[in-house]
Structure 1
Amino acid sequence: MNKLTHDALWPLEAYARKRDEFRAQVMAHKRDRQVALGDHVRLLFEDEMTIRYQIQEMLRIEKVFEPEGIQDELDAYNPLIPDGQNWKATLMIEFGDPAVRKQELAKLIGIEEAVWMKVNGFDKVHPITNEDLERSNDEKTSSVHFMRFELAPEMVQAVKAGADIYTGCNHSYYSVPAFKLRPEVRNALSEDLIAPS
């Protein structure tokens, strides 16, 4: 899978002109890359387009135009693009009320390791999480986690051949029974993979 480079990004002025149109494209693209785990946890499966949007938005917000600053953003976000043998996802814990969110995050420590993916016919795959930095402590977990689901070559082949994909969460406080991903999501995740040659 291609990683993003300086040349793949729009300068700030060009992005300002294209932003509304690009944002609409990205929001439509994300619809088939999101999975709700119950009412308060959501997975967004990242790819080149979602990460390109994230970088462009960060550059815009921070008004970064120096090559070194742009490279810092590329270095931070490129690892979130799948490599052809994995899925990479952002897990978001969503509670609107800040007081409720604080209470719930204290109960959800370890949730990022309780989420799993499963290719039909194979064992569950638990993620490698938060490779950039630790996002939990003894008192609470973060509301955002980064996850990498590494797949065996046989799993990749099965997905490319049309196998169903399941997910769920076996956290003691926030359990979500196994369910099959919608065909649109399954197909989007299949496109993230490169079949072994």
Structure 2
Amino acid sequence: MSKKKRLIEKEDLIPSDIYSKTRRQTRKELVEFKKDRRIALGPYATFYFESFETMLAQVQEMLHIEKGGDEQLQDELVAYNPLVPNGKELIATLMFEIDNPISRAAFLGKVGGIEEKIFMKIDDEFVSAVPEADVDRTSADGKASSVQFIHFKLNDDQISKFKLIDLNIELGINHKEYAHTTKLTEANIKALSKDFI
């Protein structure tokens, strides 16, 4: 699996019979790979930064579970290829994780538009997140989705700064009902730097 790869194709997938045999080990390795790509923010938000490897694993797993063959594969590629970073961006799946369904509904009802209030601060420069354009992430009645897909598009200078490792990089949400920031660790920065060309 090449980090230089920006598009998942059929040839990248392991045949389903082989995947079934190696699935446990593959998933164990993926957990380790994703460890430094997961960043919690406040009590409910977790950013899972995606890559070619994480999206390939997602497609592989969906095919394993649903067994839809080539027809399903095309749908999965359409769904997941836009979440593979293009070399000048970071892409995260943001999840608001609240176990209690009543508390979850109450929280999501208060944070409409939160996808427009996400940022990354590289040194002293703010990079506003761009929500994935596929669907609205806040409903007409103002309820936010519990899953958001977020792009951070960086310019060359910001990418160079990001790769310095020892720079102060923060991830934040600045919504009136949910305002939190967290500093990325050196391990986070090293892992995410691999997404850049």
Instruction: Provide TM-score, normalisation by structure 2.
Output: 0.92
Q: What is the aligned partner in structure 2 of residue 151 from structure 1?
A: 154
Given the alignment of the two structures, is residue 74 of structure 1 paired with residue 80 of structure 2, yes or no? no
Where do 5+ consecutive residues of structure 1 fail to align? Answer: none
Q: What is the aligned partner in structure 2 of residue 26 from structure 1?
A: 30
Counterpart contact for 2:90–2:195, Cα < 8 Å: yes
Counterpart contact for 2:63–2:73, Cα < 8 Å: yes
Q: What is the aligned partner in structure 1 of residue 16 from structure 2?
A: 12
Q: How far apart are 1:164 and its partner, in Å?
A: 3.2
Aligned length in residues: 191
Please show how residues 1-197 of structure 1 align to structure 2 within 5 Å: 1-2=4-5, 3-66=7-70, 68-121=71-124, 123-137=125-139, 138-162=141-165, 163-176=167-180, 178-194=181-197
Q: Distance in 2 between matches of 1:136 and 1:142?
A: 6
Q: Distance in 2 between matches of 1:179 and 1:39?
A: 12
Counterpart contact for 1:164–1:186, Cα < 8 Å: no
Q: Distance in 2 between matches of 1:139 and 1:118?
A: 27
CA distances 1:107-146 after superposition (whole Å, capped 9, x unpaired): 111122212111114x211111031111211241110000
Which stretches of structure 1, 4 residues or more, deviate above 6 A after TM superposition? none
Letter aligned with residue 133 of structure 1: V
Where do 5+ consecutive residues of structure 2 fail to align? Answer: none
Q: Distance in 2 between matches of 1:18 and 1:167?
A: 35
Identity of aligned residues (%): 38
Q: Distance in 2 between matches of 1:20 and 1:110?
A: 38
Counterpart contact for 2:113–2:142, Cα < 8 Å: no
Counterpart contact for 1:12–1:65, Cα < 8 Å: no
